[in-house]
């Protein structure tokens, strides 16, 4: 009796027709296999599936753009290191996910004429390779609670990952490399997104966050050898940038423009053109709207460690500034005319510096941080350069030894 049961089980496992029939009836479908019930295209299997079904796809070359309109799991079978390849057609997104609660795993998605992948809510996009799309590699638009993990997103002609009008997404452990524009972008009022443990290199900007994005966290990423900034922040607030390693980027490790209430902490920035650049972050005479830059290790940057341009009311504390060409520099440009004279800040050089370590200052006396204010005059519909004034901030309690960061 036991022998007959074992023999029957072996027959079921080895017979494609019997196993396929059972899987179709039991919410498991196959694409690219042999036998009854195996589909030749991924879209045909999706059309036959119901919510909650799982579709397994054998390695092969699938020349189609697919639309996932059901809550299913679409999983590529990996054989001898090979994954199934989905090659986009016409002007469509290669994988368009319209339904919530979709899993997409173990595919190579290439040559999207629009985008590589666009997803909905509560989706898991994991262990895929997304390559050579005409637009963005992966787009998260008006979408929430997605997990995007362990993907390789390479050589797309716009952005690697684009997140807009979307919240509560986790982007983690991805390789995002050599995309024509930015590697990872968070735009348009996106909030509460977490970008962590990604490897971001060789893009124009590594990570770009702006256009009123807020309450997002960028942490533990390795961002290097990008052609612009490692992390570029523009017009955002309440962003936490923490424990990232940023090096060998062609402009700044971190650039902040018009940012408020942001915290930049525990990052390592070295061998960039500039370590951190804080620009145009002046926001009138409101109080207690500081950007806080603290406990960062800023070293061996080619031009400047910390550069401040027309920015006040920021706090710089307990940073290590070590052997940058210039450890810190301030610049302000101000205009005097009859319409805008009130825009000139009453304290143009006011930032708070506290207990930073300076490799070029070994005294306990206050450390001066030098800068320039350039005054421009607008009269008779013409601009005139007026004059320059020296500008100083002071770190009144400089550290005598570097911090362990």
- Considering the entire predicted model, what is its pTM? 0.88
Q: CA quadruple 58, 60, 61, 63: dihedral positive or negative?
A: negative
At 339, the pLDDT band (50, 70, 90 cuts) reads: low
Question: What pLDDT band is residue 228 in, cutting at 50, 70 and 90?
Answer: very high
Buried b (16+ CB within 10 A) or exposed e, 34-49: eeebbbeebeebbeeb
Q: Which of 44-48, 118-122, 133-137, 306-310 has the lowest mean pLDDT?
A: 306-310
Q: Are strands 367-379 and 326-336 parallel, antiparallel or unpaired?
A: parallel
Q: Is the pLDDT of residue 116 over 60?
A: yes
Phi, psi of 22 (to 5 degrees): -65, -40
Sign, Cα dihedral of 343, 349, 352, 357? positive
pLDDT band at 26 (very low <50, low <70, confident <90, very high): very low
* 3-state DSSP assignment of residue 340: coil
Mean pLDDT of the chain: 88
* Cα–Cα distance for residue pair 74/56, rounded to 1 Å: 6
Rounded to whole angstroms, the Cα distance separating 64 from 168 reads: 31
Residue 375's pLDDT is what? 78
Paired residues of 329 in beta bridges = 307
Reduce the DSSP state of residue 31 to 3 states and report it.
strand
Indicate whether 318 pLDDT > 80: yes
> Of the given ranges (250-264, 348-362, 383-397), which has the lowest mean pLDDT?
383-397
Write down the pLDDT at residue 387.
77
Q: What's the pLDDT tens digit per position in 353-391? A: 999 999 999 999 999 999 998 877 777 777 676 778 888
Cβ contact 35:19 at 8 Å: yes
CA dist 294 and 272 (Å) reads 19
Of 149 and 212, the structure prediction assigns the larger pLDDT to 149
């Amino acid at each position: 009796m036991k022998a007959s049961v074992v023999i029957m089980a072996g027959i079921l496992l080895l017979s494609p027709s019997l196993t396929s029939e059972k899987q179709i009836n039991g919410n498991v479908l196959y694409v690219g296999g042999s036998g009854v019930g195996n589909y030749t295209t991924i879209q045909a299997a999706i059309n036959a599936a119901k919510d909650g079904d799982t579709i397994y796809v054998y390695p092969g070359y699938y020349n189609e753009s697919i639309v996932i309109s059901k809550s299913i799991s679409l999983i590529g079978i990996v054989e001898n290191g090979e994954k199934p390849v989905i090659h986009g057609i016409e002007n469509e997104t290669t994988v368009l996910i319209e339904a919530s609660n979709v899993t997409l795993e173990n595919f190579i998605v290439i040559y999207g004429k629009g985008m590589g992948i666009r997803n909905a809510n509560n989706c898991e996009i994991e262990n895929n390779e997304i390559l050579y799309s005409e637009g963005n590699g992966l787009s998260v638009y008006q979408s929430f609670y997605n997990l995007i993990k362990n993907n390789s997103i390479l050589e797309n002609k716009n952005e690697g990952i684009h997140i807009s009008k979307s919240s509560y997404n986790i982007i983690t452990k991805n390789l995002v490399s050599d995309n024509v524009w930015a590697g990872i972008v968070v735009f348009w009022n996106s909030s509460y997104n977490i970008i962590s443990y990604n490897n971001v290199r060789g893009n124009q900007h590594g990570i770009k966050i702006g256009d009123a994005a807020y309450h997002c966290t960028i942490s533990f990423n390795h961002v290097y050898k990008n052609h612009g900034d490692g992390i570029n922040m523009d017009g955002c607030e309440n962003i936490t940038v923490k424990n990232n390693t940023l090096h060998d980027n062609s402009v700044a490790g971190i650039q902040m423009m018009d940012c408020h209430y942001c915290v930049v902490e525990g990052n390592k920035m070295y061998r960039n053109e500039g370590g951190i650049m804080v620009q145009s972050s002046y926001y009138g005479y409101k109080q207690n709207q500081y950007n806080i830059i603290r406990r960062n290790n800023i070293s061996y940057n080619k031009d400047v460690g910390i550069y401040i341009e027309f920015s006040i009311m920021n706090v710089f504390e307990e940073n290590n500034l070590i052997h940058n060409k210039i450890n810190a520099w301030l610049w302000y440009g101000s205009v005097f005319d009859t319409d805008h004279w009130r825009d000139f800040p009453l304290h143009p050089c006011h930032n708070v510096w506290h207990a930073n370590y300076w490799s070029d200052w070994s005294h306990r006396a206050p450390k001066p941080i030098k800068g320039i204010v350039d005054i421009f005059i607008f009269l008779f519909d013409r601009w005139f350069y007026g004059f320059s004034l020296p500008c100083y901030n002071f770190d009144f309690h400089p550290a005598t030894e570097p911090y362990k960061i």
